[in-house]
Amino acid sequence: MNKNKLGPYIFIAVLVVVLFFILGVRYGQKVEKTNKTIDYLISLTPAKSPTPVPVGFKLYSNKVCGLSFLYPNTISLDKNATDTAEFLQDNKLKIKIDCAKKNISPTMAETKIATEEVMLKNKKTIVTVSHDAQEFLYQFSLKNSINLKNIDIIIEKNLYPLFEKSLEFLNN
């Protein structure tokens, strides 16, 4: 073989070796950067995780309305009279019970309203769902099957499952 014909092959081989060397150096830099990041993250002491506040429950009983149910102890009861009760948290209405047939819907006047079907005491009930940007409220009426009193209720949607599971009608 002629020496002139071997030159381009040697040149290409040298270029390939240089290319592999450059790629290897760049890959090594990337691996070293990743290792430093991992070492830094491992060296950090973990922050103390917040301790969850245990949620307890209280039992609300109203002999006039003839009902009882559980509610979280994080909300406070504000009794207006024997036949009405409001449950508030951060000055926001969470639950309102009224068996005196007063109009309990003024809190829903300026919000969007729709209807939805829910189960209550194994019976389908149509509820009015009111919501604004921050909360969803169910509003509905039910009849106590024992004392035949009509009870109007407004309850925050996320409290409804607890209300539904723990609702009991009382004998006077």
Residues 6 and 43 in one domain: yes
pLDDT(58) > 50? yes
- Please give the residue range of the domain that contains residue 38: 1-49
- Residue 110's pLDDT is 47
Q: Are residues 43 and 89 in the same domain?
A: no
Pairing of strands 123-131, 76-81: unpaired
What pTM, to 2 d.p., does this model score? 0.57
CATH code where residue 137 lies: 2.60.120
pLDDT for 90: 79
- Give tens-digit pLDDT for 61-85: 888 888 888 888 888 888 766 778 8
| CA-to-CA dists, residue 153 to 6, 7, 65, 106, angstroms | 95, 94, 11, 13
Q: Within this chain, do residues 116 and 63 fall inside the same structural domain, yes or no?
A: yes
Give the distance, in angstroms, between the CA of residue 140 and the centroid of all CA atoms in the same chain: 23
pLDDT given at position 37: 92
Are residues 145 and 110 both part of a single domain?
yes
Amino acid identity, position 62: N
* Amino acid (one-letter) located at 151: I
Mark whether 29 and 72 lie in a shared domain: no
> Quick one: average pLDDT of 137-162?
81
* Residue 35 shares a structural domain with residue 63: no
Co-location of 42 and 65 in the same domain: no
For 11-56, the pLDDT digits (tens) are 999 999 999 999 999 999 999 999 999 999 888 887 887 777 677 8
Neighbour-count burial of 155, counting CB atoms closer than 10 A to its CB (0-12 exposed, 13-18 middle, 19+ buried): buried
Domain co-membership, 68 together with 96? yes
Query: For the chain, how many structural domains are there in total?
Result: 2
Task: Let me know whether 87 and 160 are in one domain.
Answer: yes
- Dump pLDDT digits (tens) for 85-143: 888 887 888 888 888 765 555 444 445 566 666 666 556 666 666 655 556 777 877 77
